[in-house]
Chain A
Amino acid sequence: MRLVIDRVSKVYRGGVSALAGFSLDLGPGVLGLLGPNGAGKSTLMRIVATLTRPTGGHVTWEGRDVASQPDAVREVLGYLPQDFGVYPNLSAVEFLEYLAAAKGLEPRAARRRIEELLELVNLGDARKRPLGGFSGGMRQRVGVAQALLNDPRLLIVDEPTGGLDPEERVRFRNLLSELPGERIVILSTHIVSDVEAVATDIAIIARGRLVAHQAPEALLHSVEGRTWELVLPSAELPALRQRHLVSGTMRRGDGVQARVIAAEAPGPGARPASPTLEDAYLDVLARERAGATA
């Protein structure tokens, strides 16, 4: 099972470049695709999901080009877009039955799976209600259910936790980590904690380019020994930000506790801290920005 993204570019009308020579070679596992807003994540997801054609490069699924043979990937694809709608007059069951028919699933087994999926995302009690009355979180869970309808071998979830409360986010992550067997999952987000627990690989995208592709451990290792914590008066925080990358702050009674990424101790009283994925991610982005402006 292999998904190859080979030097993919996308330039929209008006000359706006969303992707520039993006390459990635994926096997089974969960890829956390991290990047700031506007980095090109959704464009990449839409290209892999056959909804947008690249202006350069190729995406191949099991050796077949998804632009020229889109059904090759559509047959195994589960896709949860960043923004999607529902038919408000249909119930959750009717909507999922319609999508199951569109995906060409055998009706009887699909019906059973729909009931189970709705229980899984805890919409069992609401399954016969019109979708028009669902909250944003409930609709998002219908989206999760539809993405899992055909037991996809390639699952693409684009900013899946937007609109979910913290409890739902945790449950969604658990659901992703439970996905059994051989499959490729691409989890696109700008929220590092979403991928922290489930990703087997992390790719970081910025300005349409791949800037890092590593295992989470390797990414953490890259900021090992460069992560510090120190407490300083809040008036000194702007100056600290000028000198170093500050990955987090927390107000305390005696000032502000700052988390800093720096090669050497950023000030008196600074003590080494255990790096987090967020530290590593921000460090990669800062270095990419510095490289771009150099």
Chain B
Amino acid sequence: MSAAVGAVSPRRAAHLHVLLAIARADFLERVRRYGFLITLAVAAWGAHGALPPRGAGYTTVSLDGHRALYNSAGAGSIVALITGLFLTLVGFYLVKNAVERDRHTGVGQILAATRMGRLTYIAGKVLSNAAVLFAMLGVMLVVAAVMQQVLGEDRHVDPWALALPFVLLAAPAMLVVSAVAVLFEVVPRLRGGLGNVVFFFLWAWGLATAVPESVIRLPIGDAVGMTVVMPSLEQACARTYPDYHPGKGRTAGINFSPRAHAVTPFAYPGVRWTPSLLAQRLAWVAFAALLTVLAAALFDRFDAARAAPGRHTRRRARAPAAGEPAAEAAEAAGTRGSVAALTAVRRSERFAPLLRAELALLLKGQGRWWYAGALALALVCLFVPLAGVRGVALPLAAIWPLLAWSSLGWRETRHGTAALLFSAPRPLRRQLLATWLAGVLLALAATGTYGLRVALAGDLGSLSGWLAGVLFIPSFALASGVWTGSGKLFEVGLLALWYVGPLQHVPALDFLGAVPGARAAHAAFFALALALLALAYAGRARQLRG
């Protein structure tokens, strides 16, 4: 026998070594930031909130006024389930920058010039994403154990029952999110804001498949494990409360309701893990592996020439890149003319040219279809009966320029133009104001026909709501862009708010004036818009102080 049975070949060992080195370096780069500590603190706070004490006024996982007792199995299952629900959304936006960082810093070019394989690189990035999310899960597990003791409903610690839901429910979901994040990063169209929007709807669809009433049920259940935990909770509940009918009044999420104060517990022994349930969860791990392989197949290995055909490539075809004859010819000729002969310029304090320039920058890159869509929505808002407009057309019109707004507040850092712009006069009073106003003008243009209609109809309630939205959206974009240095918070935050508020007609979250009679919300969003604008101002002032 030439080699020991089961020994790893040197070639495989080398690949594994590279994979782990990539994952380790990427993980360290992420966790050695103050922001990561904040992320862990937020995760701990979220885990703490997943176990509301009696009288908290809200429930997380409840069954018609009952909930699991906070023993190890109950605390572990509830925190793992709530974590799965929210961290699958937030986690995606948190980790979706592993490949982009290498692209931006140029490290990718160096790696691409080595013998590193595509699958090795992509798997390393997926592993690094998963490590970040697992670190958060670890913190949440510790918090669940602490909360079990603090709440004291059953202080007996069963480590297995506490940890198993994290390992078998949350961890596979995080693996899938890690792989999806990398997959979105390697597909050019999904790399930016469009990918963020697409993922939000994918996440919402994924959750919908976990509901028993859903038309679409996947054979492997849902990624988060709702279809695994909920039936076992229902069985335990029915054992304690025989009048409880499975499926009745089940909620998972954050639910504020008057009945939350009177929620009663039932003993919960945890999920009985059968081979079939284990196979379901393993299937999600396999799905994550499949996505990783798919991402590796689509990965361009930092070769810009392999970019998918589309607008970007077509534009490049018109514009020769470095090394091509036209560009080289322009380079070789150098300077000509004289500095002394340049036209003299004088300063002008006119605001309009700057506003015009900001608006042009905001709209730059939007295609004809985008304008056609915006125009169609504006016309629908003008001519279709108001009830229909409020239900679909207005919310759609208000979300249409989402990706244009999402560049506000951080495009200077994204494109490296901060030094050029912040050394120009009055970067706060002129530039920031012009940037915000351009966003407001875009909101006016996108939804203005609705505003006009409700104004002509004398519907002051809807008019005030619409105006609040016109101010709120760009203020939110600007503040989150300035403070987070990314458009992700705005993209996912506005989408979530939009989905629950104007689209589902929850009056408290109607920031558009789409729900008649939601005046309190309109006033709140108006105040929030001003507060966010002030926050953006403070953030930019902080940036300017260096």
- The chain A residues found within 8 Å of chain B, CB to CB, are 46, 49-53, 70-71, 74-75, 77, 79, 81, 83-90, 94, 97-107, 109-110, 112-113, 116-117, 119-123, 125-126, 129-130, 132-138, 141, 146, 148-151, 165, 167-168, 171-172, 174-175, 178-180
Interface size on B, residues (CB 8 A): 59
Q: Of all chain B residues, which has the CB nearest A103?
A: B424
| Segment with Cβ contacts to A, from B87-95, B267-275, B279-287, B333-341 | B333-341
- Does B361 sit at the interface, judged by CB under 8 A? yes
Query: How far, in angstroms, from A141 to B417 measured CA to CA in the complex?
Result: 15
B546 touches A106 (CB 8 A): no
- Does B41 sit at the interface, judged by CB under 8 A? no
Q: Which residues of B contact A104 (CB under 8 A)?
A: 347-350, 354, 424-426, 430
Given A75-B425, A103-B424, A122-B330, A138 and B546 touching (CB < 8 A)?
Answer: no
- Does B545 sit at the interface, judged by CB under 8 A? yes
Return B464 CB to nearest CB of chain A, in Å. 33
7 pairs of A and B residues whose beta carbons are closest in the complex: A85-B416, A135-B322, A133-B319, A52-B546, A101-B357, A129-B319, A81-B419
A179 touches B339 (CB 8 A): yes
- Does B517 sit at the interface, judged by CB under 8 A? no
Q: Which residues of B contact A123 (CB under 8 A)?
A: 330
A79: contacting residue among B318, B415, B423, CB under 8 A: B423
Q: Which residues of A contact B358 (CB under 8 A)?
A: 101
Task: Report 29 cross-chain contacts, Cβ distance below 8 Å, ordered by A residue.
Answer: A46-B419, A46-B546, A49-B419, A49-B423, A50-B423, A74-B423, A79-B423, A90-B361, A90-B364, A98-B360, A99-B421, A102-B354, A102-B431, A104-B426, A105-B345, A107-B350, A113-B345, A120-B335, A121-B335, A122-B333, A125-B330, A126-B326, A129-B320, A136-B322, A137-B331, A138-B330, A141-B335, A150-B347, A175-B339
- Does B116 sit at the interface, judged by CB under 8 A? no
A85 touches B415 (CB 8 A): yes
Q: Of all chain B residues, which has the CB nearest A110?
A: B345
Interface string of B333-373 (1 = CB under 8 A from A): 11111111111111111100110111011001100000000
Query: How far, in angstroms, from A94 to B363 measured CA to CA in the complex?
Result: 13
Return A284 CB to nearest CB of chain B, in Å. 29
Query: How far, in angstroms, from A46 to B419 measured CA to CA in the complex?
Result: 8
Query: How far, in angstroms, from A116 to B333 measured CA to CA in the complex?
Result: 16
Query: How far, in angstroms, from A105 to B546 measured CA to CA in the complex?
Result: 25
B315: contacting residue among A113, A132, A174, CB under 8 A: A132
- Does B316 sit at the interface, judged by CB under 8 A? yes
Q: Which residues of B contact A71 (CB under 8 A)?
A: 425-426
Given A88-B415, A94-B360, A101-B356, A120 and B426 touching (CB < 8 A)?
Answer: no
